[in-house]
Structure 1
Amino acid sequence: MGVRIVLIGFPGVGKLTIAKELSAMVSAKIVDNHWVNNPILRLLDEDGTAPLPKGIWEFTGRFRQTVLDAITAYAPSANFIFTLPAWRAAEACDAVLVPVRLLCDEEDLARRVSNPERRQRLKSTDVAASRDRSRRAGVFDPLHPNTLVLDVTSASPGKTAIAIREHILKVLGDLSA
């Protein structure tokens, strides 16, 4: 039985950075939202702050679904870390789902989003949108019993990864008890 860790958080919170730290600790493959979205987003001439064209997420959604279907068909017992919604990939193959909500202070999130390196990876660099999102929306809560909530404002990616690994071990221990 595989484990599906889903990192949930606003752009800039550090999902991919944390996933990279965590992947070696739990022997898991990473499926990053930008690895799935960028084949489509690279077709656009965007500056990282302009609104994306209407309907573009329909195309990235199809690509994402193809990736999730392949995981379900060919790697049902492998461990994966997702930085994109992947609930069905866990349910379809009886994997253990571990959602992790990553929270971050608005100012620190705005600072992280403004990093110019994000633009090279086709990630949003819109600080105003980041602040607006922080003020008007909460990080999605899947209301799943295995959910872990971490404030990563001051935590290093390594310490965050360790906390997630410890939570996964607890969840797996509870399942076997």
Structure 2
Amino acid sequence: MSIFVLLMGFPGVGKLTIAKELGSLISAKIVDNHWFNNPILRLLDDDGTAPLPNGVWEYTGRVRQTVLDAIATYSLPSANFIFTHAGVEGDERSARTYGQFVEAARQSNAVFVPVRLLCAEEELARRISSPARRERFKSINVDTSRSRSQNALVLDVPHQHALSLDVTFTSPSESAAAIRDHVVSAHNAALKATESSPPR
């Protein structure tokens, strides 16, 4: 059974950095959310601090769906994937995006493992101000980051394989190792459940 890991967290938490570490541990391909966003964001006069136009995320959602459809159609049954998503609790668009990943995993008969990456406000503000983020069309607005930390929560959808991990004081490699251990347990549990299920 293949594995689909979804790393969820606010901008700056280190989703892609952790994904790269995790990818080498579980032999997974990384599909970062900016793969979907950047083809659209590159067309805009975006400085990383001003609000984006209303409706722009509907276009990135279409790109995401196309990529997920291709994965479900053409990837090998044993292929593992790591996705990233800046999901916010209570946000309809975040929930719809989460649903896209869940459905792609179902279509691929993959074990789906959602992971919430949490980080303290001050550390998150420090990370988001990195100039390297702007080179990848990522937000660098510290005020927005602080407001988000104070007023919102990372998307928290009940799932049997869900994991919440505070990465404030852990290195990317340490975080990836903890996620790897959780993924292995979830995969083994899914295999055991499959083997014990009566044939149809």
Structure 2 CA distance for aligned equivalents of residues 132 and 145 of structure 1 = 30
Q: Which amino acid aligns with 2:74?
A: Y
Map 1:52-131 to 2 at 5 A: 52-75=52-75, 77=77, 78-84=79-85, 85=98, 86-131=101-146
Structure 1 residue 140, shift from structure 2 partner: 0.5
Question: CA separation of 1:75/1:167 partners in 2, compared to 1, >3 Å: closer, same or farther?
Answer: same
TM-score, scaled to structure 2: 0.86
Q: Name the stretch that deviates more: 126-135 or 85-94.
A: 85-94
Contact 2:3 2:187 in 1 (8 A): no
Counterpart CA distance in 2 for 1:173 and 1:95 is: 12
Distance 2:138 2:190 in 1: 37
Output one character per residue of 1:49-95: Cα deviation in whole Å (capped at 9) or x when no partner: 00001111111111111000000100152100000342221122221
Does residue 152 (structure 1) correspond to residue 153 (structure 2)? The answer is no
Q: Give, as a single letter, the amino acid of the residue that structure 2 aligns with 1:93.
A: S
State the percentage of identical aligned residues: 60
Counterpart in the other structure of 1:16: 16
- For residues 149 and 36 of structure 2, what CA distance do their matches in structure 1 show? 24
Deviation at 1:171, TM superposition (A): 1.1
CA distance in 1, matches of 2:144, 2:61: 22
Q: For residues 4 and 172 of structure 1, what CA distance do their matches in structure 2 show?
A: 10
Matched with 1:40 is: 40
Query: What's the secondary structure of 1:29's corresponding residue?
Result: strand
Structure 1: segments with no counterpart, 5+ residues: none
Equivalent-residue separation in structure 2 for 1:165 and 1:13 (angstroms):
18
Task: Output the CA distance in 2 between the equivalents of 1:6 and 1:148.
Answer: 10
CA distance in 1, matches of 2:7, 2:104: 14
How far apart, CA to CA, are the structure 2 residues paired with 1:76 and 1:104?
A: 34
Q: How far has the Cα of 1:108 moved from its partner? A: 0.4
Q: How many correspondences in the alignment?
A: 177
Contact 2:4–2:113 under 8 Å retained in 1:
yes
Counterpart amino acid of 1:149? S
Structure 1 segments of 4 or more deviating over 3 A? Answer: none
Deviation at 1:114, TM superposition (A): 0.7
- Separation of aligned partners in 2, 1:22 and 1:138: 24
**Matched position secondary structure for 2:11:** coil
| Further displaced range: 111-120 or 87-96 | 87-96
* CA RMSD between the two structures: 1.0
TM-score (norm 1): 0.97
AA aligned opposite 1:14: G
Measured after TM superposition, the shift of residue 19 of structure 1 is 0.3
